[in-house]
Amino acid sequence: MKFPVAIEIHDLTVSYDYKPVLWNVDVDLPKGKLVGIIGPNGAGKSTLLKTIMGIIEPESGYVKLFDQELDEVRTKVSYVPQRESVDWDFPASVMDVVLMGRYPKRGLFQRLTKEDRAIAMHALEQVKMEDYAKRQIAQLSGGQQQRVFLARSLAQQAELYLMDEPFSGVDATTEASILSLLSDMKDNGQTVLVVHHDLQTAYDYFDWIVLLNKRLVAAGPTEEIFTNENLKAAYGGELTMLSHLSELMAEKAMNVKE
């Protein structure tokens, strides 16, 4: 089946200290979808995102975004790293952090405008952090910091969003709110690629799934990828989790029939 492609990943191999972390990953990802990258710990999920963003150089293969090299479309791409990878002690307010999302549009040495500040405030409103705009980023909880980083990404007004564990450290209510926001972004034609670990929410919310375990196990529409065979190939012996997911899938199928 042909579809408009946002990300083309071709024969991608990535190694750390000559040890492959990703091996011959070859997949096209569609535009305008909410795509989840899932797999066990150490599967290479974050590595894949960093390689797409040019943070890590591949051993072989290539990545294209909107059929172009990253440098040609960088302003169209926004990246949200894992919260744990960021030094949160730097002296900056919440608004300062979110305004950083405007520099790709304006240029690093250009003065930001009232419009930029309005866009940044709207992004904070989208993640329900507008009351914290003047707060120092280091004073926030982990979940609040995660939402601020998401707001910074939204302020960029990109076409493609790459998010590495955006739900880490947030409570269930915040997670549901962010999932709803991501769904709205998809409805507006934006493409969202999310590294995620929870299979149940991935099954419920994501349109497409990339199932990884150092190699590509499977990729495609969620209903096609979430099979016992694929999940066992990716997760191996974690049968308790898979059994629970199978029950959820069967229950959902039954509800649809009814």
d(CA 78, CA 163): 8
Report residue 258 as tokens: 């009814």
Do 31 and 203 meet the contact criterion of CB atoms below 8 Å apart? no
Burial class, 217, CB count within 10 angstroms (exposed 0-12 / middle 13-18 / buried 19+): buried
* DSSP 8-class letter at 93: B
Opening angle at CA 31, ends 107 and 196, nearest 5: 85
pLDDT tier at 174, thresholds 50, 70, 90: confident
Nearest by Cα to 121 from 146, 85, 97: 97
Q: Residue 217 contacts by C-beta under 8 Å, 6 or more apart in sequence?
A: 39, 211, 230, 233, 234
Q: What average pLDDT does the chain have?
A: 88
Report residue 115 as tokens: 């419009």
Q: What is the pLDDT of residue 239?
A: 45
Per-position DSSP letters for 182-211, written without gaps between them:
HHHHHHTT-EEEEE---HHHHHHH-SEEEE
Report residue 245 as tokens: 């997911």
Long-range contact list for 180-183, CB < 8 A, 24+ apart?
Answer: 181/126, 181/127, 181/150, 182/34, 183/34
pLDDT tier at 244, thresholds 50, 70, 90: low
Share of the chain above pLDDT 70, in %: 88
What is the arithmetic mean of pLDDT over 133-151?
Answer: 91
**Residue 249 pLDDT > 70:** no
Amino acid code (one letter) for 169:
G
Q: What H or E segment, with its residue span, contains residue 238?
A: none
Q: What is the pLDDT of residue 91?
A: 83
What is the arithmetic mean of pLDDT over 234-253?
Answer: 61
Q: What is the pLDDT of residue 7?
A: 98
**Residue 250 pLDDT > 70:** no
Q: What is the pLDDT of residue 170?
A: 82
Q: What is the pLDDT of residue 1?
A: 52
Q: What is the pLDDT of residue 74?
A: 92
d(CA 83, CA 152): 13
Q: What is the pLDDT of residue 173?
A: 86
pLDDT tier at 257, thresholds 50, 70, 90: very low
pLDDT tier at 246, thresholds 50, 70, 90: low
pLDDT digit string (tens) for 189-231?
Answer: 999 999 998 898 899 999 999 999 999 999 999 999 999 899 9
d(CA 203, CA 238): 17
Q: How many CA atoms lie within 13 A of 72 on its CB side?
A: 7
pLDDT digit string (tens) for 40-90?
Answer: 999 999 999 999 999 999 999 999 999 999 999 999 999 998 877 677 677
Residue bearing tokens 């300062």 = 96
What is the arithmetic mean of pLDDT over 132-141?
Answer: 93
Pinpoint the alpha helices (H) of 12-137: 45-52, 70-73, 94-99, 103-106, 114-126
Amino acid code (one letter) for 82:
Q
Give the total residue count for the chain: 258
Report residue 98 as tokens: 């979110």
